[in-house]
Chains A and B, each alone.
Chain A
Amino acid sequence: MAGMVTLPTDSPAAPPTPAKGPTGGRRWNRNTVEIRVLGVLRWVVIAGLMLFTLFPFYYMVLLSFRDLSSLVQDPGRLLPTLAEFTAETYRNVLASTESGGQGFLRFMANSGLIALGTVVLTLAFAIPGAYAVARLKFPGQRQVSVLFLSVYLFPSILLAVPLFVFFTRVGLRGSLVALLLVYVSQTVAVSIYMLRNYFQTVPASIEEAAAVDGATRLTIMRKVTLPLAMPAILANGLFVLMIAWNEFLFALLFLVENRPRWTVSLGLSQLAGSIEIPTTVLMAGSVILTLPIVVLFFASERLLTGGLTAGAEKG
């Protein structure tokens, strides 16, 4: 993301390269045609892409403030009007089932609990692990790296069957703890992978200096390496938080019979098929599900994209 600072920002349109040809005039050679066409096409593409990516989100927010009857009467209107603006959908979707709502407040608490728990546990496992992989030499290091990479690439649908069977058998399916452990096992590999890349950029000489001064390995980790790696740890925590908040398959497999334990994702997917609940109310539920992620993402975009592509820059 540093490239944008170094490039000079002059006119927003493609700065036309001065004609290199010997004529120098306004002749329509291939080069000028291409520059003209691409200069225009570029803005068309950007506008089209923005529309394509953002429209569903706009539509989501728009519908979440409408009444179902008004939507059915006038499905084509894309601008909000004050007359039919309603926040009743949000009240309905958040309220508990006893008071006639859909209980999303409860789902949010579940999702939040699971997501935060996953972040704390994953980092507790991944920080020492990533430090070891990045800094220390130990037998089996290569094998461990290969193992983590394959877990990262491994399809979760393959794990669905045995984990479902196992946790059913030991009677823990339906508990949030079981789900938490599964999430940690799914995220810890990618977490180590991301953190390792960062730990490797911390110069070893700093740690060696601390070691010469008599600090133990643990003190060095705690007092030297961790503070230096804080941005990466933060980005990684956010990344894990998003994965855990968004997760659907294991929540479906583990919690579906137990409505009070549903996560927001699971709740929305389960209620989506029902005819009694108006679509616009569920749209409010979608906004509630999406909003925390979008806010977190925009707040930490630089951190996150830097961490995500850390492995890609080597090409």
Chain B
Amino acid sequence: MTEGPALSERRRDRGRGAGPRGRGTLRRREARAGLTLISPTVAIVVTLVVLPIIWTVALSFQELRLIQLRTAGLLGDYTLSNFSQVLTSPGFWTSLRTTLIYSVLGTASSIGLGLVAALALRRSFRGRTLVRASLLLPYVAPVVAATFVWGVMLNPQFGIVNEVGTNLLGWDEPIAFLSERSNELSLFGLTIPVPTALLTVIVFEMWRSFPFAFLFITARLQAVPGTLEEAARVDGATPTQLFRHITLPQLLPTIAVLSLLRFIWTFNNFDDIYLLTGGGAGTEVISVRVFEYLISRGDIGAASAQALVLATVLLVLVTVYYRFAAKDEVA
């Protein structure tokens, strides 16, 4: 960043001195070259990302059904009915709540596990490279294959988890992890209702995304200077004190950025929940509802409105986070 202006200054001077074949100054030529090189990308992004988003806003104010699509004009009558329909429909607030619980717990657990993994693998040992690469596998594996295997593992009839649970852990009966809304858990004489399916998809999210946090925290840990910890150790700090007062503060900016990124992605996550439960058993998040409105009901207007509501909630939450929680860290 700092070398930019100085560099172009020098270039311009040179361009003035010897420019028999150049049209205009070097700076102007550079600007032209830059625009030429970037414009194809800008064009495709604008056509396939920006315009569609603007169009979503227009669609959300129209009464448009999938079956009318081929005949209807692109600009119909504008109405607010989609929004009132979406906001007052049964299940909207429940699904907003589910989305929030899913995103907060999914983000927190994946970053927590990623931190634990990064710390455990911090000091080198034989085979660490291989272990490290293996831990990244859930993140790179295709989501469809991962959800399918998890579905079979958790299957009540022949899944390995229930097999182990009933035979070795003494469960009374197999648990339908992905289709059971809630279960009573007896603990010390108390019965606590547990949202089984929701917890399962959160654990899946943790399994799938902790490598991302692990990778970033590991990269940050490698950049932490060893001298500080060395000094603290000489002064008699124990390992937990070292972590609490020396290492963790240096990791906080990274963790803040990670929280933001993971929260955004988890909040919008469609694939995992759709593939695991189809949105059933109390796991219907808003993104699955968007899909349901679009495909099952063929209601384009309501789907757009629902998608916009999702985006708005996310925008508000991210703004609040940015303003209050992480102003210093994220910037």
Task: Determine whether the beta carbon of B219 is less than 8 Å from that of A309.
Answer: yes
B-contacting 9-mer, from A80-88, A91-99, A127-135: A127-135
A-contacting 9-mer, from B119-127, B175-183, B190-198: B119-127
Binary A-proximity of B24-38 (CB < 8 A = 1, otherwise 0): 000100111111011
Report the count of interface residues on A (CB-CB < 8 A): 107
30 contacts between A and B (CB under 8 A): A31-B238, A42-B123, A49-B113, A49-B135, A50-B134, A54-B134, A57-B149, A75-B159, A76-B160, A78-B160, A129-B40, A131-B37, A132-B38, A136-B37, A139-B31, A155-B264, A155-B268, A155-B287, A161-B56, A185-B48, A245-B142, A265-B145, A269-B148, A269-B275, A286-B149, A297-B133, A301-B129, A312-B257, A315-B220, A315-B254
User: CA separation between A185 and B40, bound complex, in Å?
Assistant: 11
* A131 to B: closest C-beta gap in Å: 6
Option from B4, B160, B300 in Cβ contact (under 8 Å) with A59: B160
User: CA separation between A253 and B124, bound complex, in Å?
Assistant: 46
Closest B residue to A63 by CB, please name it.
B152
User: CA separation between A249 and B134, bound complex, in Å?
Assistant: 26
- B283-324 contacts to A, CB under 8 A, are 287, 290-291, 294-295, 300, 303-304, 307-308, 310-311, 314
Task: Determine whether the beta carbon of B207 is less than 8 Å from that of A163.
Answer: no
| A34, A125, A162, A192, most chain B CB atoms within 10 A | A162
* B163 to A: closest C-beta gap in Å: 4
- A308: B residues at CB distance < 8 A: 215
User: CA separation between A57 and B216, bound complex, in Å?
Assistant: 23
Closest B residue to A148 by CB, please name it.
B45
Given contacts A148-B45, A283-B152, contact A139 B35 (CB under 8 A): yes
Task: Determine whether the beta carbon of A217 is less than 8 Å from that of B126.
Answer: no
Task: Determine whether the beta carbon of A163 is less than 8 Å from that of B52.
Answer: yes
Using CB atoms and an 8 Å cutoff, list the residues of chain B in contact with chain A.
3-4, 7-8, 27, 30-35, 37-38, 40-42, 44-45, 47-53, 55-56, 59, 66, 69-70, 113, 116-117, 120-121, 123-126, 128-129, 131, 133-138, 140-146, 148-153, 157-160, 163-164, 167, 207, 211, 215-216, 219-220, 222-223, 233-234, 236, 238-240, 253-254, 257, 261, 264-265, 267-268, 270-271, 275, 287, 290-291, 294-295, 300, 303-304, 307-308, 310-311, 314
Closest A residue to B206 by CB, please name it.
A52
User: CA separation between A164 and B177, bound complex, in Å?
Assistant: 33
Smallest CB-CB A-B distances: 9 pairs: A138-B34, A155-B268, A136-B34, A185-B48, A162-B52, A132-B37, A128-B37, A75-B158, A129-B41
Option from A1, A157, A242 in Cβ contact (under 8 Å) with B290: A157
Is A56 in contact with chain B by the CB < 8 A criterion? yes
User: CA separation between A311 and B222, bound complex, in Å?
Assistant: 14
Beyond the given pairs A246-B144, A286-B149, A315-B253, 9 more chain A to chain B contacts, judged by CB atoms under 8 angstroms and listed by A's residue number, are A1-B129, A12-B125, A21-B236, A60-B149, A248-B144, A272-B148, A286-B148, A290-B142, A301-B136
Task: Determine whether the beta carbon of B134 is less than 8 Å from that of A185.
Answer: no
- A154: B residues at CB distance < 8 A: 49, 53
Is A215 in contact with chain B by the CB < 8 A criterion? no
Closest B residue to A164 by CB, please name it.
B294
- B56: A residues at CB distance < 8 A: 158, 161-162
Option from B215, B253, B304 in Cβ contact (under 8 Å) with A309: B215
Task: Determine whether the beta carbon of B149 is less than 8 Å from that of A59.
Answer: yes
Is A119 in contact with chain B by the CB < 8 A criterion? no
Task: Determine whether the beta carbon of B134 is less than 8 Å from that of A168.
Answer: no
Closest A residue to B278 by CB, please name it.
A273
Is A79 in contact with chain B by the CB < 8 A criterion? no
* A172 to B: closest C-beta gap in Å: 12
* B28 to A: closest C-beta gap in Å: 10
Option from B45, B131, B136, B138 in Cβ contact (under 8 Å) with A189: B45
Task: Determine whether the beta carbon of A185 is less than 8 Å from that of B290.
Answer: no
| B148, B265, B310, most chain A CB atoms within 10 A | B148
* B130 to A: closest C-beta gap in Å: 9
- B158: A residues at CB distance < 8 A: 71-72, 75, 279
Is A275 in contact with chain B by the CB < 8 A criterion? no
Is A282 in contact with chain B by the CB < 8 A criterion? yes
Option from A2, A46, A147, A163 in Cβ contact (under 8 Å) with B131: A46
- A169: B residues at CB distance < 8 A: 69-70
User: CA separation between A157 and B143, bound complex, in Å?
Assistant: 16
- B157: A residues at CB distance < 8 A: 72, 75
- A163: B residues at CB distance < 8 A: 48, 52
Closest A residue to B260 by CB, please name it.
A153
User: CA separation between A75 and B159, bound complex, in Å?
Assistant: 7
Closest A residue to B294 by CB, please name it.
A161
Binary B-proximity of A157-182 (CB < 8 A = 1, otherwise 0): 11111111110110000000000011
Binary B-proximity of A140-154 (CB < 8 A = 1, otherwise 0): 110010011001011
Task: Determine whether the beta carbon of B149 is less than 8 Å from that of A161.
Answer: no
Option from B33, B159, B160 in Cβ contact (under 8 Å) with A132: B33
Task: Determine whether the beta carbon of A75 is less than 8 Å from that of B160.
Answer: yes
- A182: B residues at CB distance < 8 A: 48
User: CA separation between A128 and B143, bound complex, in Å?
Assistant: 31
User: CA separation between A249 and B153, bound complex, in Å?
Assistant: 23
Task: Determine whether the beta carbon of B30 is less than 8 Å from that of A34.
Answer: no
Is A38 in contact with chain B by the CB < 8 A criterion? yes
Is A188 in contact with chain B by the CB < 8 A criterion? yes
Task: Determine whether the beta carbon of B33 is less than 8 Å from that of A282.
Answer: no
